[in-house]
């Protein structure tokens, strides 16, 4: 190849665990600090056209990587093994909406222990998207668009300029042992944002960032978030929902066995008043959650209106049905331990609060539990004392 821009491009034939014999391996690398964009795209393109399962390896070392889209469909399953660290352009790159994209692939693996470094520091200073909608977008670090039957494991996303991982219109995807790191002051750096996917699992993952650790957009179905640690950040959020007229229903979301530390919000569902659509979010369950100094630990906010760019006098048309918060324990960073602010146009239906114990020791008084347009079903014990609702006796508990 000769050029550092093309890097090293080799083809090996080996037997890989989980793949058939004669699987092809394509390696994209180069001298330390070189740009491997062209080499990676060529390696991916060849692997994607291979008739048998194939693997692309980015070896250990630090490399530059420009904007790249790795697009299928591929002829057979493909595995990307990122062993090294790839770094984006350190400039603000305003107006671009993506850095690394995997799209239209069925049968995909991404692993290797390496890092996607978004080099976001300069971009954060230029970013005002957390203050206004009228802003130039910054690139999402890693996008998965229309990727099915995928396993993403042992990967780090560092200092994204915008969202770290964005997952849209995928099916049967597992994210396991992912590390997401950015300062608390980095704006709009959602850890994992998902929308219009079915059958996604996020497991054993650590997220420290400047926005939502996990944000769930419209059209999500059958999402499991388990053993995730979050903080700093803005918590784990369903929504915001209702901003756009083309949104779809959300259903079957489970967040279990997670720990939140020092986050600005905890477990949150947020919908816009004066919503542009009428959809339903149903079957949303939070269970076995530990809170460490988390502000707004439990929050349903159907008056979500950042920068006052909506009409709060028009109630949200998003219906919230079959919601539960069970076994939520720990400490709050403010007195608003539980706030269930439901829409007066569509009051929340079948909301269950079961065995919560949230303490707050601040100077402005004990923790509070507020309800608007909802009568929650109460199971077990509640601290703070719940707003008025039917109390359900649990056998074996006081």
Positions marked active-site: 234
CB 179 within 8 A of CB 137: no
C-alpha distance from residue 224 to each of 14, 19, 38, 268, 356 (Å): 35, 27, 36, 16, 21
The SS3 call for residue 46 is: helix
Q: Which residue has the tokens 């002829």?
A: 75
Rounded to 5 degrees, what are φ and ψ at 372? Answer: -135, 125
DSSP 8-state secondary structure symbol assigned to residue 196: S
User: Count of CB atoms within 10 A of residue 189's CB?
Assistant: 35
Q: Which residue has the tokens 């950042």?
A: 306
Between CA 300 and CA 324 the distance in angstroms is 11
* Rg from Cα positions in the chain: 22
What would the two tokens of residue 365 be?
A: 């008084």
Work out whether strand 140-153 and strand 85-87 pair parallel, antiparallel, or are unpaired: unpaired
Residue whose C-alpha is closest to residue 333's, from 298, 302, 381:
298
Between CA 298 and CA 269 the distance in angstroms is 9
Q: Which helix (H) or strand (E) holds 122?
A: helix 121-126
- By residue count, the chain amounts to 398
DSSP 8-state secondary structure symbol assigned to residue 373: S
User: Count of CB atoms within 10 A of residue 362's CB?
Assistant: 11
SS (H, E, C) 315-350: CCCCEEEEEEEEEEEEEECCCEEEEEECCCCCCCEE
Between CA 275 and CA 272 the distance in angstroms is 5
């Amino acid at each position: 190849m000769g050029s550092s821009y093309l890097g090293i491009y080799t083809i090996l034939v080996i037997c890989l665990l989980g793949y058939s014999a004669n699987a092809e391996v394509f390696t994209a690398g180069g001298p330390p600090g070189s740009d491997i964009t062209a080499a990676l795209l060529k390696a991916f393109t060849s692997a994607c056209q291979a008739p048998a399962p194939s693997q692309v390896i980015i070896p250990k070392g630090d490399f530059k990587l420009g904007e790249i889209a790795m697009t299928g469909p591929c002829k057979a399953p493909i595995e990307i093994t990122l062993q090294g660290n790839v770094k984006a352009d350190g400039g603000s790159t305003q107006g671009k909406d993506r850095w690394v994209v995997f799209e239209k692939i069925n049968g995909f693996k991404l692993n290797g222990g390496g890092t996607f470094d978004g080099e976001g520091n300069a971009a954060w200073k230029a970013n005002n998207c957390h203050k206004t909608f009228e802003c130039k977008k910054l690139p999402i670090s890693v996008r998965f668009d229309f990727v099915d039957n995928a396993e993403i494991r042992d990967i780090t996303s560092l200092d994204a300029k915008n969202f770290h991982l964005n997952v849209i219109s995928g099916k049967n995807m597992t994210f396991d042992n992912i590390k997401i790191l950015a300062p608390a002051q980095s704006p709009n750096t959602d850890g994992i944002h998902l929308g219009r996917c079915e059958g996604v699992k996020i497991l054993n993952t650590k997220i420290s960032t400047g926005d939502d650790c996990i944000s769930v957009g419209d059209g999500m179905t059958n999402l499991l978030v388990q053993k995730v640690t979050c903080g700093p950040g803005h918590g784990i959020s369903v929504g915001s929902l209702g901003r756009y007229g083309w949104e779809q229903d959300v259903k079957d979301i489970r967040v279990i066995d997670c720990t939140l530390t020092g986050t600005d919000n905890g477990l949150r569902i947020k919908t816009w008043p004066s919503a542009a659509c009428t959809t339903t979010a149903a079957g949303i369950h939070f269970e076995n959650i530990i809170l460490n100094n988390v502000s707004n630990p439990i929050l349903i906010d159907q008056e979500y209106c950042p920068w006052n760019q909506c009409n709060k006098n028009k109630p949200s048309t998003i219906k919230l049905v079959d919601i539960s918060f069970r076994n939520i324990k720990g400490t709050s960073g403010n007195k608003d331990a539980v706030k269930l602010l439901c829409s007066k146009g569509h009051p929340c239906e079948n909301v269950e609060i079961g065995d919560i114990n949230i303490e707050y020791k601040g100077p402005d008084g004990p923790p509070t539990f507020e309800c608007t347009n909802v009568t929650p079903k109460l199971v077990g014990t509640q601290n703070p004392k719940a707003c008025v609702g039917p109390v359900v006796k649990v056998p074996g508990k006081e």
